[in-house]
A and B are shown apart, each in its own frame.
Chain A
């Protein structure tokens, strides 16, 4: 080997080359991700309007307050002014005062979000931005339901495809098709299948099966909207989940199953004592990816529901482009970031994903 000096010079040259090679990627990421992220954090504390001559002012946490403030107020039973007795309606139910009477108006106006009863008392839950609170709730419910369904269905499909049979290749191919369809396109395909009369496939099918009246408004009724979103998302992403799980299953050595079969373990027992535990890492990764992806859902909500129900991302878009309210939109971005970050940390802690092992 050469002298020590020569060696360290080589090492230095190598290091310089490495930095040069990294420059393009790092500059791009700095300009399009890191700087805008900083900008979003900063702007979220201002009242910046897009394309407006209004002076931008620093407003502290006002944007966050107007997005997230919530309050619970007790609703008192109305009192009959003549008799001074508590008031009941014709069916004997107590009449409560109207939420608008108890919800604070200053400094920010609260609107009614939900009414509920607890221990015989009636309460109203008020929020300053009902749409955003709804958007958070919608997104969380959407995420949990679709990820659970995708994991279950994906696991089922992966198990079926993992067994040996004729046409296995064709099945794997078919699995890639929903994945390959553009999300917006799949949303419009489902929009047409979910049409609110019997020109749509689902109304025709349900009607032929004798349920439904052939006029179910899947996309307009507030009870069904969210589940329609889940259905579209599950169709599109289950195959991806199945492929990830299938890849995980293929790393489990066949000898384990052979040994288990010799010991007389049933296929169900084999699944729970071999497949499931050994598949855990693959499942954990698939779960993280899908959850973080679902939390930022935009395409399906935007195309199918527009402004009738929001996800966090579509509400952000609406405030930015529809209302040109850059300060508020930035604050929404930060809230989404924190929620997603929280989920990521939670998963990593809970599932004990070892970053070093994957790197």
Chain B
């Protein structure tokens, strides 16, 4: 009786790990392919069939090509894009966290009339389809003559501010009231309570939501493409990569594009790996609770 059960177990286990392997390949292969292609010269990219590792067209021996990485850092569009994206994403995050934590404190801890409608409005805004206001927002921005960078920072509040407010409200709500009351008894104003007690306690939540806001802003394409259409100098990374052209405009330089793809993805992947647990918690808090 014991023998067949063991065999069955081995089969089940093998099957399980096979499925797991397939999942791994599915999730990681496109990124591997980008790395692989970023290490190929134009001649190596044109080899048919495509090779799983960079190979020398003549000898077929493995020969990675590193110039793509050198070239993209000499590409003004790309380097400026990195700078612009950093400015836009950082400012967006700070603004969303400041305005969001103020609002979240009021919504999570204070009693006032009109709280429920405000909460519902914020929740509805987390699902707001940005594209519907594109034309109106563009009109507002051209009327106010805002520079592209400022326009992006402001408009990114549409998707970062409701989200940070919503998630932080949940965190504030869970903080013990006793702490607040004892501060009030000690004569602290609500503002002091906020800065001295609540803010340090919610730092972890701030890091999580801030990170998610940063990634969302770093990713954004629709507004960036629209608002930089007359100001190419303000293009962010996604726009720069979408418009990537090589030194020779003969054909799309996929080696360089893939190198750029790897360069902009690696920092985010590192961030994600470091803050993994927090990100998962933040994502599920934003969505499961939202």
Contacts and interface: CB of A to CB of B under 8 A. Distances in A.
Contacts of A25: 99-100, 102-103, 161, 165
B213 to A, nearest CB: 13
Contacts of B215: 180
B229 A321 contact: yes
Nearest to A42: B136
B222 interface: yes
B57 interface: no
Contacts of A198: 48-50
Interface string A160-198: 100101010001111111111111111011101100011
Give the size range of A's interface with the partner. 35 or more
A316 interface: yes
B268 A199 contact: no
A244 B120 contact: no
A88 interface: no
B119 A317 contact: no
Nearest to B155: A32
Contacts of A181: 31, 261, 265, 268
B112 interface: yes
B237 interface: yes
Contacts of A201: 33, 50
A160 B111 CA distance: 45
Interface stretch (B16-24, B60-68, B70-78): B16-24
A182 B218 contact: yes
Interface string A26-69: 10110111011111100100000010000000000000000000
A50 B134 CA distance: 13
Contact of B237 (A36, A171, A178, A182): A182
B242 interface: yes
B49 A193 contact: no
A146 interface: no
A286 interface: yes
Contact of A37 (B132, B161, B280): B132
A316 B254 CA distance: 29
Give the size range of B's interface with the partner. 35 or more
B203 interface: no
Chain B interface mostly helix, strand, loop or mixed? helix
B9 interface: no
Chain A interface mostly helix, strand, loop or mixed? helix
B216 to A, nearest CB: 11
A95 interface: no
Interface of B: 16, 19-20, 23-24, 26-28, 30-31, 33-34, 37, 45-50, 95, 98-100, 102-103, 105-107, 110-113, 115-116, 118-120, 123, 125, 127-140, 142, 154-155, 157-158, 161-162, 165, 190-191, 215, 218-219, 221-222, 225-226, 229, 237-239, 241-242, 244, 254, 257-258, 261, 264-265, 268-269, 271-273, 276, 279-280, 283-284, 287-290
Interface of A: 11, 13-15, 17-19, 21-22, 24-26, 28-29, 31-33, 35-40, 43, 50, 157, 160, 163, 165, 167, 171-186, 188-190, 192-193, 197-201, 204, 207-208, 214, 235, 239-240, 243-244, 247-248, 282, 285-286, 288-289, 292, 295-296, 298-299, 302-303, 312-313, 316-317, 320-321, 326, 329-330, 333-334, 336-337, 340, 344, 355, 358-359
5 contacts: A17-B191, A184-B238, A189-B33, A355-B123, A358-B289
Given A185-B264, A192-B34, 14 more contacts: A28-B154, A176-B276, A180-B268, A182-B265, A183-B221, A184-B219, A184-B221, A189-B258, A298-B131, A303-B242, A313-B222, A320-B135, A326-B135, A336-B132
